Structure 1
Amino acid sequence: MLLDPLVIVGLLLLGCGAGFMAGLLGVGGGMIMVPFLTAFMSGQGMEAGIAVKMAIATSMATIMFTSLSSVRAHHRRGAVRWDIVRKLAPGIVIGSLVGSMGIFAFLRGTWLALFFGVFVAFSATQMLLGKKPKASRQMPGTVGQLAAGGGIGMISGLVGAGGGFLSVPFMTWCNVAMHNAVATSAALGFPIAISNVLGYVIGGIGAEGLPEWSLGYVWLPALGIIVLASVMTAPLGAKAAHGLPVSKLKRIFAMVLYALAAYMLWKGLQGS
């Protein structure tokens, strides 16, 4: 499959934007990429349901690279809560495999698009309302964080995102400072991405309607182009995150998520 030069330019721009947003908001870039990749892949002649699944899986594959670039920049500033990463990561891996290798393979692409839209809109609302948690509320214990990680990993696997749209609100609700929550979410993006991509590859083996140069549900041409651009802009987003006030970060996060949720709900309703 030969890509049109304009599509290549578009994917490069998407990679730049997704990398920057990954560093800025700790969302792994998946929330940005899935709607745009769905449009790109539909434009390449893929069936709508397959386009959504390929977009979700390819988006997650890019997060393996952008999360490393982003977390490195946050770690240099001492913002990553590695104690939280260690307790959430095991549950994240288990939940991710359940979501990507099990539920994802059996759900129709249109239902995945609707699921994506609803959860993203919910996350945006929670962030925009900015309800202050009780001063005494802290992160739960080991079992609680294992369960929370499982939920974050499973839902991330269904929508192709690094989990920031769930982990950032969850951590801020538990009185983790916003900048620390964003940085820690970036670190959690790597185990989410690795385990989910493994599930997408295994679950997509033998699936019908996949285009050339596919590895399971991952579309390799888009992966390579986006990664090339995104790893360069993720550190710039991380730098910008530490220069913005918390209230502005929350508003940016919410507005971006609302726009993307609306698009994917529209896409899902079109195919239902």
Structure 2
Amino acid sequence: MTYLIYLLLGVFAGTLSGLFGIGGGLVIVPTLLFCFKFLGFSAENAIHMAIGTSLSIIVITASNSVYSHNKRGSIDWKVVKRILIPLIIGTYAGGLVSSKLSANFLEIVFSVYVVLVSIKMFLDVKVDKAQKETSTLLYSIVGSIIGFKSAILGIGGGTISIPFLSWRGFPMKKAVGVSAALGLPISIVGTTSYIISGLKVSGLPEQSLGYIYLPAFFGVILTSSFSAHLGAKLSHKLPQDKMKKGFAIFLSIVAVKMIFFS
């Protein structure tokens, strides 16, 4: 049963990664948390393992998404380079902080975050077509926040990077492409920090590598690769205003799930 959930989760997460430039963690984390609790993992370890495993899965989904978006010319690598170093620093710091936070606190933070982002997207669906000049300082501040938040919540960063880039006047397809590219270093650094911090913890389930649960990792990535390419293809066929509204609807569904059904 749990392996079937992992396979279906891979399809969903991969499609979201390609379509919206997000790692899929907003779906992966709560689903894995449900599975891990069902399997009898301790409450304290389950959320950390869901987040760590989510980040390891995003390494694969983001890689496929980046390949597809780059092939279609939708990644502005100059912007990626301006954000990269602060992003990596923030991600590593977030991974270290997360390992010291309680399970209940992490679940509350995750739920509140999803609610706030879904509301923000609903209230701001207007597409600004004029791209604004953005300073390196602003890119650095936002990059460090994206990395820190992503490592703590186990997500790819698109829920901040896409609204930010849209605000700066980037077309939705370009914002999605840059977000996909940022998700790769976030997931690599975040995964590394969760492996390192988890190696010091006793009582983790068998077949774990730190806070990464390997059966879930392999189950999800079996179907996520193809789905990421499909999602990227769809993103280039949809009008950007509809993509933005669709992203807002997706976040609101996750928010309801986290609040009422977790």
Q: Does 1:214 pair with 2:200? A: no
Aligned residues: 262
Does the 8 A contact of 2:128 with 2:166 survive in 1? Answer: no
C-alpha displacement of 1:137: 6.5
Aligned residue number for residue 99 of structure 1: 94
Aligned residue number for residue 88 of structure 1: 83
Aligned residue number for residue 233 of structure 1: 227
C-alpha displacement of 1:141: 1.5
Q: What is the CA–CA distance in structure 2 between the aligned matches of 1:265 and 1:48, rounded to whole Å? A: 18
Does the 8 A contact of 2:118 with 2:255 survive in 1? Answer: no
Q: Of 24, 29, 37, which aligns to 1:34?
A: 29
SS in structure 2 at match of 1:51: helix
Does the 8 A contact of 1:31 with 1:260 survive in 2? Answer: yes
Q: TM-score, normalised by structure 2?
A: 0.94
Q: Does 1:123 pair with 2:117? A: yes
SS in structure 2 at match of 1:106: coil
Q: TM-score, normalised by structure 1?
A: 0.91
Aligned residue number for residue 248 of structure 2: 254
Q: Does 1:71 pair with 2:100? A: no
Q: Deviations over 1:197-243 (max 9, x none)?
A: 11111111221431111111111111111111101110000011111
SS in structure 2 at match of 1:243: coil
C-alpha displacement of 1:52: 1.4
Uncovered stretches (5+) of structure 2, i.e. residues with no partner: none
C-alpha displacement of 1:47: 2.0
Runs of 4 or more, structure 1, over 6 Å off, are 133-137
Does the 8 A contact of 1:15 with 1:225 survive in 2? Answer: yes
Q: What is the CA–CA distance in structure 2 between the aligned matches of 1:98 and 1:118, rounded to whole Å? A: 21
Does the 8 A contact of 1:116 with 1:261 survive in 2? Answer: no
> Structure 2 counterpart of 1:61, which letter?
S
Percent identical among aligned pairs is 37
Q: Deviations over 1:153-204 (max 9, x none)?
A: 0000011000001110111011111111011100111100111111111111
Does the 8 A contact of 2:92 with 2:189 survive in 1? Answer: yes
Q: Deviations over 1:239-266 (max 9, x none)?
A: 1111112222122211221222233345
Query: Pairwise CA RMSD of aligned residues?
Result: 1.7
Does the 8 A contact of 1:85 with 1:184 survive in 2? Answer: yes
Q: What is the CA–CA distance in structure 1 between the aligned matches of 2:133 and 2:153, rounded to whole Å? A: 25
Q: What is the CA–CA distance in structure 1 between the aligned matches of 2:245 and 2:46, rounded to whole Å? A: 30
Aligned residue number for residue 175 of structure 1: 169
